[in-house]
Amino acid sequence: MNIILFGPNGSGKGTQGAILREKFSVRRIETGVIFRENVSGSTDIGRRAKIFIDRGELVPDDITIPMIMNRIKNPNFKNGWLLDGFPRNLTQAEALGMDIEREGINLDFVIEIIIDRDTAKNRIMGRRLCASENSHPNNISIDAIRPVEKHGALFCHVCGCETLTIRADDQDEAAIDKRLSIYFDTKTGTLAAVNYFKARMKVFEVHSFSEVQETSEHMMELLSCS
């Protein structure tokens, strides 16, 4: 089972991706991990990527996509893979799509998690981290996982931890707006990449509900009917 998963920050894409990996017993393809492995292993493509990484620049697509294709073709991924966070724009989608087709690789599902831009931004800025257990979900903008308020203070709704922290980048509105602008760009951005696949195959549109289980059940219902 080979899957591409789309969704902006704040959509719950990471959580739903984990559910998909467990359901279909597939492995996640992470560009960051691929970069680190190729650079540390001093592969030819890794040495080329390192030049850009050391300069703090984005690695060009003509390096990134061959890395991803090498991972897709790796025997360890023969039982299936999940690609999320890539492609990020139309150019990458076109190049990846052509390479997958050229290699005769079957793409089983393309999934788009639907959420409006304002809700995504509010969810990002509403995230709170439990100091006791970082995996405990807390978000002041989502009723289902809203922290408990006592005497004017917020406590983890899972374990009652008294210390909830905020990531600095979750409050950087300019950075959040920039990331969301790239995603919601229908001309050259990530939504343009989604539309590239929509023109070629069925893309399953999954609405991001406030309840994780409601979203996952909606997703699995759609996929089971395919």
What is the CA angle 176-180-182, rounded to 5? Answer: 120
Q: What tokens were used for 170?
A: 């979750």
Q: Write down the pLDDT at residue 178.
A: 92
Q: How many Å apart are CA 7 and CA 79, to the nearest integer?
A: 24
Q: What tokens were used for 114?
A: 């639907």
Q: Write down the pLDDT at residue 14.
A: 86
Q: Write down the pLDDT at residue 142.
A: 87
Residue position matching structure tokens 């089983």: 108
Q: Is 167 a catalytic residue?
A: yes
Q: Is 127 a catalytic residue?
A: yes
- Identified catalytic residue from 21, 71, 128, 179: 179
- Identified catalytic residue from 28, 88, 123, 128: 88
What confidence tier does 125 reach under pLDDT thresholds 50, 70, 90? very high
Q: How many Å apart are CA 18 and CA 194, to the nearest integer?
A: 20
* SS3 annotation, 106-133: CCCEEEEEECCHHHHHHHHHHEEEECCC
- For the stretch 132-180, pLDDT in tens is 988 788 999 988 889 999 988 999 999 999 999 998 889 999 999 999 9
Q: What tokens were used for 64?
A: 């990134």
Q: Is 198 a catalytic residue?
A: no
Is the pLDDT at 226 greater than 80, yes or no? no
Is the pLDDT at 212 greater than 90, yes or no? no
Instruction: Please name the fold of domain 2-26+79-116+173-224.
Output: Rossmann fold (3.40.50)
Enumerate the domain spans of the chain. Answer: 2-26+79-116+173-224
Axis-axis angle for helices 190-198, 90-102 (nearest 10) = 40
Q: Write down the pLDDT at residue 81.
A: 97
- Identified catalytic residue from 23, 150, 167, 178: 167
Residue range 41-70: mean pLDDT, rounded: 91
- Identified catalytic residue from 28, 121, 123, 127: 127
